[in-house]
Structure 1
C-alpha cells in the first residue's frame, strides 16, 4: 500500500516515480526536526536585553506594593526590605480618612466622558480630512498638527479665561471641556481612514448611502484598533492629569484622584504606607484598561502608515 503524498519524501529528488520514504523511515533523522518552523524557533538575542528591562520596569510597582503593606517604621529602614507582616489596614485607612471614593468617581466621569467625545468628534474630523475636499482643508489640518507642538503651559491661561467666561470654574465640566477632542486623535484616525479602500465608500454611495451612514455602518466597524488606541490614550491622559485640575478646581467634591493623592502629603509629615496604598488603588483601573486594550493598541501601532 502506497504512503499518502503528504507524508512522503523523495530522497533522490530526481525521479517523480521513485520510491517514497516517510519521515519516520529516514535513517539518522529525528522526526521532531521536520516539524513546522514555528516549533523550532529559538530565543532571540534581544530577549537578553528586553527581559532585564521589563523586570527593571516592574521594580517601582513592587516597591509601591511593598510600601503599601508596611508600617511607618519599616518604610524608614535603609536599605528597604520586605515587610514583616502584611498591613492591609493601610488600604482601608486611605479609603475612610478621605473622600477617596468620590475622587475616583470624579476621575471616572471625566475620563469616560472625554473618551466618548474623542471617539465621536475625532472620527468625524478624521473622516472629513481624509475623504472630503473643501477650501482650506490642508491648511486647517496643518494648523491642528501645529498645536501638538505647543506645550499646555502656554495655553493654560487662555483656557482658564475661557472656562471663567463660561462660568464653569471649579466643576467637572471645567475638566471635560478642554479635553473634548484632541489633535492626536484626529491625526491618528485620519491616517487610518486613508488606509481603507475607497471602493467600499463608492459602492455604498451607489446604493444611496449618505456620508454619515457610510462612516457609521461601513468604515467604523473596520476601525477597531485605532479607535481602541484613541480611547486608551485619552483615558490614560485624562486620568493621570494633574496640572489642569490643580488650577481649575479648589473644592474636594470636584477633585480628581490625582489631586486627592496630593492631599496625603504635608509640609512636615507624609504617611507613606497610606499614600502608596491610595496610589496603588488609583492605578488599578488604568492597568486593567491597558491590559484589556493591549492587543488592539499594539495592532494599531503596527499598522500605522500601511496603505
Structure 2
C-alpha cells in the first residue's frame, strides 16, 4: 500500500471514528447521567472528567422508577414487550402473506390494487388517526390491548419491502412445487419463508422497534395507568412545573436495553435483509 492509499485509509478511519463518537456520546451521556442526582445532571458544563463520569454515583433514580406504586415501570415494560411481540409476530405472518400474493400470484386487478395499496404510504398517520380512533371507539376497544395491537398489524411499508425480496425468488422453483402437487400455502411455508429469513428478520426488527417506541397512539387510546406503555410512562415523569430528569434518563436507559440487545444479536441479518430486499436508506 503506497503512501497515498495509506493516507486515505487513515483519513477515512479518523472520520469514521469521529462520526461514531458523535453518535455514541449522547447515549453515553444518558447512561452516565442516569446515575447522577437531579442537581448534578446540569451542574458540570465545562470540559473535564466530571462531564463524563458521575461525581457522586447513585442508584436512586432506578430505585424511584421501580418502587413508585403509582407508576409501576416494570408493568409498563411488560405491557410494551407484550404488545411489540404480538404485533411483530402477527405482522410478519399477515404482511408476508400479502407480499407473497402480490409478488407471485396472478389475480384480477393485481397491479391496480397494489398501486392503491402503496399509495397509502404518502398519507400522514395523523390523517387516519381520527377515523381509526372513532372506529376503535365504535368497536368498544378503548383501554384494551386490542386497540394497540390490531390496527398496527398491517404495515404497507413492510409489505412493499417483502415484495422486493419475493420478486427475486425464481418462479420456476414455485412452478416445480406446483407440479409436485403442493398448494400455494405449502409453497409459501416450505419454499418462500426459508429463503426469506433475512428479510423477515429485518422486517421483524423494524416492526418491533416501531412498537417499542410508539407514543402517540397509546397516549390516545389507553387511559388506564396499568395498561400504559413505556414511552408514555417516560413522558409522565415530566410536568410544567417539575421535570425529574434523573427518572427520565434512568427510564430511557432501561427502555433502550431490549432494543440495543436485539439489534446487536441480529444486526448481521438486518444488514443482509436490507441489502437483499433492495431497500436503500
Tell me if the contact between 2:199 and 2:276 (Cα under 8 Å) persists in the aligned partners: no
Q: Is 2:52 the partner of 1:86?
A: no
Larger Rg: 1
Runs of 4+ in 1 over 6 A off after TM superposition: none
* Deviation (angstroms), 1:59: 1.1
Structure 1 window deviating more from structure 2 (263-272 vs 100-109): it is: 263-272
TM-score by length of 1: 0.83
2: CA distance between counterparts of 1:304 and 1:218? Answer: 17
Q: Is 2:12 the partner of 1:46?
A: yes
Tell me if the contact between 2:91 and 2:155 (Cα under 8 Å) persists in the aligned partners: yes
Tell me if the contact between 2:162 and 2:277 (Cα under 8 Å) persists in the aligned partners: no
- Higher relative contact order (Cα pairs below 8 Å, separated by 6+ residues): 2
TM-score by length of 2: 0.91
Structural RMSD (CA): 1.7
Instruction: Give the gaps of 5 or more residues in structure 2.
Output: none
Instruction: Give the gaps of 5 or more residues in structure 1.
Output: 1-32, 34-39
CA distance 1:44–1:198, shift in 2 (3 Å): farther
Query: How is 1:33-72 mapped onto 2 (pairs within 5 angstroms)?
Result: 43=9, 45-72=11-38
Quote the residue 1:289 is aligned against: 262
Length, aligned pairs only:
267
2: CA distance between counterparts of 1:173 and 1:45? Answer: 52
Quote the residue 1:163 is aligned against: 136
Q: Deviations over 1:197-256 (max 9, x none)?
A: 112112211111110000001110111110001100000111101111111111101100
Tell me if the contact between 2:103 and 2:163 (Cα under 8 Å) persists in the aligned partners: yes
Q: Is 2:180 the partner of 1:207?
A: yes
Tell me if the contact between 1:95 and 1:278 (Cα under 8 Å) persists in the aligned partners: no
Q: Is 2:229 the partner of 1:256?
A: yes
* Deviation (angstroms), 1:89: 2.6
Tell me if the contact between 1:123 and 1:186 (Cα under 8 Å) persists in the aligned partners: yes
1: CA distance between counterparts of 2:232 and 2:144? Answer: 14
1: CA distance between counterparts of 2:136 and 2:223? Answer: 14
Structure with more helix by fraction: 2
Q: Is 2:127 the partner of 1:175?
A: no
2: CA distance between counterparts of 1:204 and 1:256? Answer: 45
Q: Is 2:43 the partner of 1:77?
A: yes
Q: Deviations over 1:114-149 (max 9, x none)?
A: 101111011110110011111111111111211111
